[in-house]
Amino acid sequence: MNLNEWLAFIECQHPQSIELGLDRLRLVKAALGQRQTCPVILVGGTNGKGSTCALLEKILLCAGYRVGLYTSPHLLVYNERVRLNGQCVKDAVLCEGFARVEAARVSVGEIPLTYFEFGTLAAWEVFAAQPLDVILLEVGLGGRLDATNLYEPDVSIVTTIDLDHMDYLGATREAIGFEKAGIFRSLRPAICGDAHPPHTLLDYAWEIGADLQVIGEDFEFFREKECWQYRGRSGYLKNLPHPVFHLNNAVCALTALDMLWQGLPVTEGDIRRGLVEANLQGRFQKTQEAPSVILDVAHNPQAARMLAENLGATTATTWAVFGMMRDKDIAGVIAAMSGRIDHWLPCTLPGSRAATAAELTAILVSTGVAKPPVGFASPAEAREYALKNAKASDRIIAFGSFLTVAGVMTSSYGAT
């Protein structure tokens, strides 16, 4: 099978798109004979996981290490999820990994695996075939019962804890914090980038004897006009260049590298270069000027607040290509962004979970947006409308979902 055929196949191997739990995966992992031969950094959290992984990957590559990265979801092509030394793996490599997982799955009684579970096991097969120095894994959902938690991290990072995926993780920060803390390990570094973590995360870390470090207490950053400073256990790094990502994510990455310094040393020069060069599609990504176009996958209130902060106050008129999933906190995202948007352009996204443009319009009006917005059948249509009506000095922001950003990206320069 080619890659598209494999993806269609694995999508049908489980009756549910999500089933949290590790027992099924352990059987398949054992049949594959998977083992760990290099350090693993496991990154979870409500927001900032992808950015933290991108920073870690770039700094480690700058230091000359061979790096495997598994992340999700993808924007345009599945290959984005599995990277070797900064490059997306080829179709044939992924197909070989899928074939080995399928053979193992069948050998233990055709155990049903979800799309993400199948992909996680296959990514490890890809990594196992390479002489890697470090593997970076991004948690898909939650942490404790996520497929990535099948592996044993040398360092675990929880970036932030906020309300999202509540159908699976619980309705409170305390419940969600417990699920995310499940990636911590006894006597291993456990890094938390949330300055006010729920007590459940703190309690769990204490109970298992994890080496917990919390931002604002054990490590922190200091903003300066043209640069910033980092403080960690090993001391200070001063006059650091600003990354394109939020500094919370940067200090989590630096703290993880600090904890692994004996086995994976990096220089201050590696860090400076990595901070400047790291980038990630769809995370405050500027794609053009006059008018400026910014893409951001922010899809919950916390991420929307960070996006609003990054946008800052401006006199420029702002147009928003806006699409979201129906099961997200749409009103909360609108409230977080309302002070930054002049023209809302709600659009319908593909899939049964997506809110329609009409549904988004109704929420926008009910939450106090002054004028009823125009609705669009797709992000591409909303983007075209914005480009035709925006002045050169305006800005266009597309946000609310990975599918919103993907739709704009595809219409901009096509997908392969």
Bridge partner residues of 29 (DSSP): none
Measure the N-to-C terminal CA separation of the chain; round to a whole number of Å. 19
Q: Tell me if residue 235 falls in helix, strand or coil.
A: strand
Q: Sign of the C-alpha dihedral, residues 357, 362, 366, 368?
A: positive
Angle at 393 between CA 280 and CA 286, to 5 degrees: 5
What percent of the chain is helix, strand and coil (3-state, nearest 5)?
A: 40, 20, 40
Cis omega (within 30 of 0) for bond into 198: no
Question: Which residues of the chain have a pLDDT value below 50?
Answer: 414-416
Would you state the structure tokens that stand for residue 109, as one six-digit string? 């009684």
Task: With 0.85 as the threshold, say if the pTM is over it.
Answer: yes
Distance of CA 125 to the CA centre of its chain: 22
Residues 68, 83 contacting (CB under 8 angstroms) = yes
CA-nearest of 208, 245, 212, 215 to 230 is: 215
CA-nearest of 350, 335, 352 to 380 is: 350
Q: What domains can you pick out in the chain, each with its CATH number?
A: 3-277 (3.40.1190.10), 285-413 (3.90.190.20)
Q: Render pLDDT for 181-232 as a digit per residue (tens, 0 to 9).
A: 999 999 999 999 999 999 999 999 999 999 999 999 999 999 988 899 999 9
Per-residue pLDDT, 370: 64
Residues 249, 45 contacting (CB under 8 angstroms) = no
CA-nearest of 216, 225, 249 to 58 is: 249
Instruction: Give the neighbor-by-neighbor strand order of the sheet with 220-223.
Output: 220-223, 228-232, 235-240
CA separation for the pair 297, 50 (Å, rounded):
11
Q: Which helix (H) or strand (E) holds 44?
A: strand 40-44
Would you state the structure tokens that stand for residue 95, as one six-digit string? 């197909």
Q: Render pLDDT for 88-117 as a digit per residue (tens, 0 to 9).
A: 999 999 999 999 999 999 999 999 999 999
Q: Which residue has the tokens 């928003």?
A: 320
Per-residue pLDDT, 360: 95
Count of all residues that appear for the chain in the document: 416
Angle at 283 between CA 281 and CA 287, to 5 degrees: 60
339 conformational bin, left if phi > 0, alpha if psi -120 to 50, beta if neither: alpha
CA separation for the pair 406, 396 (Å, rounded):
15
Would you state the structure tokens that stand for residue 260, as one six-digit string? 């692994």
CA-nearest of 360, 377, 378 to 369 is: 360
Q: Position 191: which residue type?
A: I
H helix intervals, 263-369? 268-277, 301-311, 330-337, 357-366
H helix intervals, 314-401? 330-337, 357-366, 379-389
